[in-house]
Structure 1
């Protein structure tokens, strides 16, 4: 079916206000023509769907060959001793990831002709994506060395040679190695295990292209891209938590994120600026010093803990009820003790590596400190409650390394031909909790 190029074509725009229509017409005159825009949107959308299908083919090599052969060798007592009892460490939750992508590709295909709405497919599944990918990434970070051990490489290479060199297929398998060769797929064991990690980066890249070429702002795609970008960082932070010395992280400590900062502590007379690995929880901040241990791997030595109910945020936003000012041009923000004289002598200053990190931390600290500050202005209390409720589901995903559960919320398929075609209902997919995630 040939798509019309008029700006009011239902294939291209949402049912919107006159203001939106003006904006679209202006964009058409300035940068886009409708046929070009639709073609540019089609390309990342098609790559998104095809990449999902290719990924399922990749993962099927593990599900139909590597994993069954591992279990068979273990059952028959011929598994190399170094691999015995290591299924979880080697494969992680790869079966769960495979099952998810089999489901997710069907949702993406629903938006094939409506690429600007594909953000809804991600929103409806973002909690599940976060859960399964955090679990997989954490396991791979903590146990990845086993994949490169000589006995591991030898065992799985023998499996690949056994089935790829002839027509002998694993039992109950539909693997076609001729197909993999034609597609130029590298199906050695380590490469296949890397696909889930690489998929997150591919999601981010393709979502960014959709944002770039869309003829109007698509808020839900921007939100989802930020969420996808944060998954790997969050998982790496969880891994680092396990390496903190002289401090015990409990299941009550709800972890949010971690980054490196140059920190200026007011209580220090000499060498006030120090580089710290900083961990943010809902109720506190941990300052740790990154050092190498005797095995030349990183450890994080606990230095200080700042309770968020003892401080207020000092940042660049002009809100007299909540903040004071620091130099925004240097990617800084501060935490000042409550009920003390406003002075740099009472403020811990954090200098981020870039503005993006600075703004991410300010956003979360504003949410956490506003929510628990008993002395805040009453007019802001209502605003804070609304913000907190709107983020309850997102915040519930922050977990300590001791509280990761294998239970997963179910995801419901969303038909883009349903009432999401109205602007008001489409906006409901912008916040994950509105879909029961």
Structure 2
């Protein structure tokens, strides 16, 4: 009986991905509608649905204060949803199929390949087991380090410190960004120990599982890295450096953010300001008080996101730098796009362009809808829309003020950002028939 159910569930490889996420969101909404999940006993259906979408899509945007509105039961549900979203619904389905049947059908493997961006079917089988192991190890290490911080240096009772350590470790590795403090982690901006642990945990989750495991096996031999790993690692380094110095320069003298801090604390705050916008969503400063230049660079980083097959959102670092190499090749008049002495196929480049254009369309559409529904400043609207689509979770404080239509818009953007524009495009592409002929070529004027 169970085998037949699993086999039927895994029979639609691409379309099952958004359907599975939607199912978990629905389940999470029902769990959060239970009166025991609400501290004041007052049930708000839209808040429950918004939180379920944000948690499953590992975003972290909220319309209510996680620390005070939800009970420990509600917070545990949020934590469970972020774990399921981070691990990937298709990875869970594959593990269940392996346990029930002892092997996996080809269609099911293709479904997981879509979710994890594995390059071969064999990798798709192995990667789901590695995801579970890497999440367990990384979150456990972070939980121990954070528990010690809250217990010994924070003065919390051990059970409460353990809960805070486990919760923040989960939220950091999954890049979800929910917090048990009303100001996120702004009250810890002067604590370099906690900031460094959180940033490293965020990076471990956002770099992507294929890159994570390749680095574990051969971090000392970068000349053997795949093109994807090189794009991701070096791309992370470039973007981190750019955002680190941008945040430091633009906010150095801002008294509302880091202007009054000592130099070493400014550096730790800038490190968090460079890491968190990539998808984590923990507020290290009040983004309603930052400089306009910081807002612009943060929006750009949220749009790019992190690594493929990780817990981050955005168009992904590899996509962004593939487009950069494409632009470089075109500007030089070269027919081939090469990265690390490897030619990039036309199909991969078309996918990168498709992902970027669909992302732009989603962000522009969401911004226009919110601009029509509200009178809020355009920069705040654009900031929160990018945060929703990039599954980041940072906000300039306008999300709770949005009307129901605006909150529903952000929910759709979070769903599209987590499921992935390319996954949606692949589902639509299944209906397209392959042409067995070529039409006459013509070159319209470009530019």
TM-score, normalised by the number of residues in structure 2: 0.28
TM-score, normalised by the number of residues in structure 1: 0.29
Larger Rg: 1 or 2?
Answer: 1
